[in-house]
């Protein structure tokens, strides 16, 4: 696997964080633009889960299988939970939740690379 | 921007200047800035517990002190998350307690890990004051306690006192409301004079 998907996730995650913080600074609530970006992040994370599952099926084994499975479950949940939690808020603090989700996705990619270096970042 | 806009208003007409601030009171501990706090606490509860759980299950003997402390931190984060979402009077007391324990924990474990690194062959959430997590574990309980203090002050003594004590968190918001409400205030004063 080349590192295209994890790298794209980091870029989209950081872009989401920047866009969301700008929205918070402008005192706006969650709008369509933020929903589209967090949706894109979710799709990319699901693609990555699929790629890792394919690699596991192909016989690859990480150093810590338990941790990798934990990441595979937790990663796609982050944008979904944050998406609903932030959209429920009718103030500038909703986008701030989206910023946390974007940063978390980027950090998860770095940690994932530490668990299984075969996924190049 | 907020001070020059607000200062002439307060002397002339206090009741018109105070009215826009009542438009955005937080309804509970989980709305407004609390929304962000709950999100970050939830994230840390998940990551600390998952990390401690897998480490205790797979390699407990390697760094027992670190893993037990990580698990303890995870439990404290869960309690803080749940009580902030609940937001009742008892829940807020427990939240204050858990934030205080968290602050004491990150300071104590941070200092311990700096002075005696041999006890920590593997890092915890609170090692070196949470450096591995961007020092968020150090900042989070401070914001949690500030938020809870502001919110309980509002509930106890009413809106007017709480607005003055809570200006650190809501300064930008209040300032924008004040500047926006500036034009109609002048009009209303003119109207009452005529």
Q: How confident is the model at residue B119 (pLDDT cuts 50, 70, 90)?
A: confident
Q: Quick check: B140 pLDDT over 60?
A: yes
Residue B165 lies in a domain: no
Interatomic CA distance for residues B106 and B44, integer angstroms: 13
pLDDT of residue B164: 42
Tell me what the mean pLDDT of segment A85-96 comes to.
Answer: 95
pLDDT of residue B34: 93
Tell me what the mean pLDDT of segment B21-47 comes to.
Answer: 82
Q: How confident is the model at residue B26 (pLDDT cuts 50, 70, 90)?
A: low
Q: How confident is the model at residue B101 (pLDDT cuts 50, 70, 90)?
A: very high
Percent above pLDDT 90 for chain B: 37
Residue A120 lies in a domain: no
Residue A9 lies in a domain: yes
pLDDT of residue B103: 95
Interatomic CA distance for residues B107 and B122, integer angstroms: 18
CB of A104 within 8 Å of a chain B CB? The answer is: yes
Residue B167 lies in a domain: no
CB of A84 within 8 Å of a chain B CB? The answer is: no
Q: Quick check: A43 pLDDT over 50?
A: yes
CA distances from A105 to A80, A108, A117, B19, B140 (A): 12, 5, 17, 41, 19
pLDDT of residue A34: 97
Of A10-14, B111-115, B118-122, the poorest mean pLDDT is in B118-122
Residue A68 lies in a domain: yes
Residues 6+ away with beta carbon under 8 Å from B106: B126, B129, B130, B137, B138, B141
In total, how many domains does chain A have? 1
> DSSP per residue over A29-93, as a string?
---HHHHHHHHHHHHHHHHHHHHHHHHHHTT---S-HHHHHHHHHHHHHHHHHHHHHHHT--STH
Q: Quick check: A50 pLDDT over 50?
A: yes
Q: Quick check: B71 pLDDT over 70?
A: yes
Residue B22 lies in a domain: no
Q: Which of A9-13, A60-64, B169-173 has the highest average model confidence (pLDDT)?
A: A9-13
Residue A46 lies in a domain: yes
Residue among B32, B58, B176 whose CB faces A93 most closely: B32
Residue B6 lies in a domain: no
Domain span including residue B122: 27-158
Q: How confident is the model at residue B25 (pLDDT cuts 50, 70, 90)?
A: low
- Assembly ipTM: 0.90
User: Do B40 and A100 make contact, defined as CB atoms within 8 angstroms?
Assistant: yes
pTM of the full structure:
0.77
Domain span including residue A91: 4-115
Query: Which sign, positive or negative, has the C-alpha torsion B83, B89, B95, B97?
Result: negative
Q: How confident is the model at residue B66 (pLDDT cuts 50, 70, 90)?
A: confident
pLDDT of residue B118: 85
In total, how many domains does chain B have? 1
Chain A residues close to B32, C-beta within 8 Å: 89, 91, 93
Chain A residues close to B35, C-beta within 8 Å: 85-86, 88-89, 91, 93-94, 96-97
Quickly tell me which residue has 């998940």 as its tokens: B46
- Look up residue B30 and give its DSSP letter: T
Interatomic CA distance for residues A97 and A80, integer angstroms: 12
More confident residue, B166 or B154: B154
> DSSP per residue over B104-147, as a string?
HHHHHHHHHHHH-GGG-SS--TTGGGGGGGTTHHHHHHHHHHHH
Q: By C-alpha distance, which of A43, A93, A52 is closest to A70? A: A52
CA A75 to chain centre: 6
Residue A63 lies in a domain: yes
Residues 6+ away with beta carbon under 8 Å from B51: B70, B74, B125
Q: Quick check: B179 pLDDT over 50?
A: no
Q: How confident is the model at residue B151 (pLDDT cuts 50, 70, 90)?
A: confident
Residue B140 lies in a domain: yes
For chain A, the average pLDDT equals: 91
pLDDT of residue B132: 85
More confident residue, A42 or B170: A42
pLDDT of residue B19: 35
Residue A121 lies in a domain: no
Residue A56 lies in a domain: yes
């Amino acid at each position: 696997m080349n590192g295209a998907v994890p790298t794209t996730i980091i870029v989209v995650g950081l872009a989401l964080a920047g866009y969301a913080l700008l929205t918070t600074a402008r005192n706006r609530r969650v709008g369509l633009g933020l929903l589209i970006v967090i949706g894109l992040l979710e799709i990319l994370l699901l693609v990555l889960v699929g790629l890792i599952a394919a690699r596991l099926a192909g016989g690859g084994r990480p150093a810590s299988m338990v941790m990798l499975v934990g990441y595979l479950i937790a990663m796609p949940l982050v944008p979904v939970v944050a998406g609903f939690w932030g959209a429920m808020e009718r103030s500038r603090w909703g986008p701030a939740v989206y910023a946390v989700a974007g940063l978390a996705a980027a950090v998860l990619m770095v940690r994932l690379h530490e668990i299984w270096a075969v996924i190049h970042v | 921007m907020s001070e020059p806009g607000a200062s002439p208003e307060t002397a002339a007409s206090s009741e018109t200047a105070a009215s826009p601030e009542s438009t955005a009171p937080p309804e509970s501990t989980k709305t407004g800035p609390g929304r962000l706090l709950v999100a970050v606490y939830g994230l840390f509860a998940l990551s600390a517990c998952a990390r401690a759980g897998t480490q205790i299950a797979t390699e407990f003997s390697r760094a027992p002190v670190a893993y037990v402390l990580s698990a303890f931190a995870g439990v404290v984060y869960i309690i803080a998350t749940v009580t902030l979402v609940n937001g009742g009077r008892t829940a807020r007391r427990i939240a204050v307690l858990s934030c205080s324990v968290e602050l004491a924990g990150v300071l104590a474990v941070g200092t311990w890990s700096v002075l005696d690194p041999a006890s920590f062959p593997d890092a915890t959430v609170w090692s070196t004051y949470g450096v591995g997590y961007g020092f968020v574990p150090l900042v989070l309980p401070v914001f949690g306690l500030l938020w809870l203090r502001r919110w309980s002050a509002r509930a106890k003594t009413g809106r007017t006192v709480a607005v003055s004590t809570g200006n650190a968190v809501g300064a930008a918001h209040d300032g924008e409301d004040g500047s926006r409400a500036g034009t109609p205030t002048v009009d209303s004063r003119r109207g009452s004079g005529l």
